[in-house]
Amino acid sequence: MSRCLPGPMEKAFNRANEMVINSEDIKIYTHIDCDGISAGAILSSMLDRLEKDHEIEFITLDQIPDIEIDNELSIFSDLASGQDLDKNIENMSTSSSKILILDHHPPFRKLGYNPALKGEFLEINPHHYGIDGSFHISGGGMSYLLAKTFGFKDLSWIGVLSAVGDMQNNLSGKLTGINKYILNDAVEEGLISSVNDLSIYGRQTRPIFVALSYFGDVNLPITNNKTECILMLKNLGIPRKNGRKTRCLCDLTQEEKTSIFSELMRMLSREVPSKYVKYIPRLITGESYDFLAERKYTPLRDASEFSTAVNACSRNKNPEVALKVLKGDRGIVLDAMKDLSHEHRRYLAERIEWVEGDDRIIHLKNLQYFNGNGIKQEVVGTIAGMILSHGDWKKPIIGFTDIGDDKNGVKVSLRCSRLLAYDGINFGNIIKKVAKKVGGTGGGHSVACGAYIPEDKTNEFLKLFDESLNGRLA
Ligand SMILES: [Mn+2]
């Protein structure tokens, strides 16, 4: 198949290939986020081409215990490695059912785990083969590796999208590990062009002065200030329009990009403590990925923008729209996706206004937080990240919100500037420890992580978190 995989892992994919070939009634359970939807799209496209009957269901982790397995083959993608399936297996309606897990999250079972099951149980997880699942491969990537065993290399672009959706390129500025092999497949297929560019979001759809105003990580004079951005472009001699059309980052010449780079370098060097200066280039440049089959000036052309559009669908509980687009539908479903993106942005703006306008941000010694009760738990992290870029970037920000339903718990989300992570702080590890101390669970990446904690422990959680950071920030 490919020289990129350890031999035993490649063998596991060949076994998975056989499980698919030998099954006629298949159900896919996939995570309802950009990575999970991408994984579902890859698997569903693969099964369509193999003319295999299948269903697909988008789920959240807490729904797993309620799943009644009653298909010949159940595939779990982008989830289930961290969840106990023994109860589901016990209650299976047909004892000969087969289970295939394609996940990249830290696995809770050991390699070769074999439950009491007449059918077959196969879990493929990169961690079992010494491969990092946070940055080197996504759930969509794992699904693509299975599709590739059938020769469907043209689905590789979705594997790239899923990695970007999981922010696996966020810290290093590029795709690495197996993600890079998947990217190479897509480049070879003529589906993606990978370019070194300014890492400013909105390359295809945002006017350049708007894109610049969203500069995060460090709060600069241009951040959240379009007038300053217009002035900056004027001083650099960069026209905002091409005739009557507003220019986006993708319209700029190399020379113009270089002068923006230098100006950002200058601004940032003035703003950040000296120990961070060496990390500045990593903040402002990185690889970007263009999907060559998509139209220019649409959000589908750029991997970051496409992943945001997919997330907008999932966060409005409408993953089917994104699934159709990923499977190739470019008809009216695109309008639905556009509406959902619009609705997503409107919701975020309104909630940010609510948090900021009401002075809900409270500063502790080493962190800042807001009580976002009422905010949908799926977006409290996104909102925290956007608020961070308007305020004090030197401290991490924590937002929390009630989970709703009858569950007596709070969802906590943390975001911080990448500079803190480059300097060696891993908030994913810290939040895991602190959440555990108050009887909750947590985890995630160094710059984006979260936890669920009991509601009456919120203050204790914040206090412990604050104390754990003493002497660690600039
Ligand atoms: Mn994932």
Tell me the pLDDT tens digit for each residue of 328-360. Answer: 999 999 999 999 999 999 999 999 999 998 889
Tell me the pLDDT tens digit for each residue of 259-295. Answer: 999 999 999 999 999 999 999 999 999 999 999 999 9
What's the mean pLDDT in 324-330? 97
Q: Are strands 245-246 and 441-444 parallel, antiparallel or unpaired?
A: unpaired
Block residue for tokens 């297996």: 89
What's the mean pLDDT in 61-79? 95
Contact 321, 338 (CB under 8 A): no
Tell me the pLDDT tens digit for each residue of 31-49. Answer: 999 999 999 999 999 999 9
What pLDDT, on the 0 to 100 scale, is given for residue 404?
Answer: 73
pLDDT band per the 50, 70, 90 thresholds, residue 300: very high
Cα 323 to middle of ligand 1, angstroms: 16
Lowest mean pLDDT among 93-107, 219-233, 396-410: 396-410
Block residue for tokens 């000036």: 297
What pLDDT, on the 0 to 100 scale, is given for residue 391?
Answer: 82
Tokens of 36: 């999970």
Cα 33 to middle of ligand 1, angstroms: 8
Cα 136 to middle of ligand 1, angstroms: 11
Contact 205, 291 (CB under 8 A): no
What's the mean pLDDT in 129-158? 97
Cα 164 to middle of ligand 1, angstroms: 10
Cα 199 to middle of ligand 1, angstroms: 22
Does residue 427 carry a pLDDT above 70? yes
Cα 139 to middle of ligand 1, angstroms: 5
What pLDDT, on the 0 to 100 scale, is given for residue 154?
Answer: 98
Tell me the pLDDT tens digit for each residue of 176-193. Answer: 999 999 999 999 999 999
Does residue 126 carry a pLDDT above 90? yes
* Residue % of the chain over a pLDDT of 90: 90
Instruction: Calculate the alpha carbon distances from 312 to 57, 184, 300 in Å.
Output: 18, 28, 13
- What is the pLDDT of the chain when averaged over all its residues? 95
What pLDDT, on the 0 to 100 scale, is given for residue 1?
Answer: 44
The radius of gyration of the chain from alpha carbons, rounded to an integer in Å, stands at 23
Give the Cα separation of 189 and 181 in Å (integer): 12
pTM for the complete prediction?
A: 0.95
What pLDDT, on the 0 to 100 scale, is given for residue 108?
Answer: 94
Cα 101 to middle of ligand 1, angstroms: 13
Cα 78 to middle of ligand 1, angstroms: 5
What pLDDT, on the 0 to 100 scale, is given for residue 3?
Answer: 62
What's the mean pLDDT in 304-328? 96
3 state SS for the chain: CCCCCCHHHHHHHHHHHHHHHCCCEEEEEEECCHHHHHHHHHHHHHHHHCCCEEEEEEECHHHHHHCCCCCCEEEEECCCCCCCCHHHHHCCCCCCCEEEEECCCCCCCCCCCCCCCCCCEEEECHHHHCCCCCCCCCHHHHHHHHHHHCCCHHHHHHHHHHHHHCCCCCCCCCCCCHHHHHHHHHHHCCCEEEEEEECCCCCCCCEHHHHHHCCCCCCCCCCCCHHHHHHHHHHCCCCCEECCEECEHHHCCHHHHHHHHHHHHHHHHHHCCHHHHHHHHHHHEEEEEEECCCCCCCCCCEHHHHHHHHHHHHHCCCHHHHHHHHCCCCCCHHHHHHHHHHHHHHHHHHHHHHHHHCCCEEECCCCEEEECCCCCCCCHHHHHHHHHHHCCCCCCEEEEEECCCCCCEEEEEEECCHHHHHCCCCHHHHHHHHHHHCCCEEEECCCEEEEEEEHHHHHHHHHHHHHHCCCCCC
Catalogue all structural domains in the chain, each as residue range(s) with its CATH number: 7-191 (3.90.1640.30), 193-291 (no CATH), 359-468 (3.10.310.40)
Cα 129 to middle of ligand 1, angstroms: 18
Q: Of 311, 422, 308, 282, which Cα lies nearest the Cα of 376?
A: 311
Does residue 146 carry a pLDDT above 90? yes
Cα 159 to middle of ligand 1, angstroms: 11
Cα 156 to middle of ligand 1, angstroms: 16
What pLDDT, on the 0 to 100 scale, is given for residue 46?
Answer: 98
pLDDT band per the 50, 70, 90 thresholds, residue 406: low
Cα 150 to middle of ligand 1, angstroms: 23
Lowest mean pLDDT among 1-10, 54-63, 435-444: 1-10
Cα 112 to middle of ligand 1, angstroms: 22
Tell me the pLDDT tens digit for each residue of 189-206. Answer: 999 999 999 999 999 999
Cα 34 to middle of ligand 1, angstroms: 8
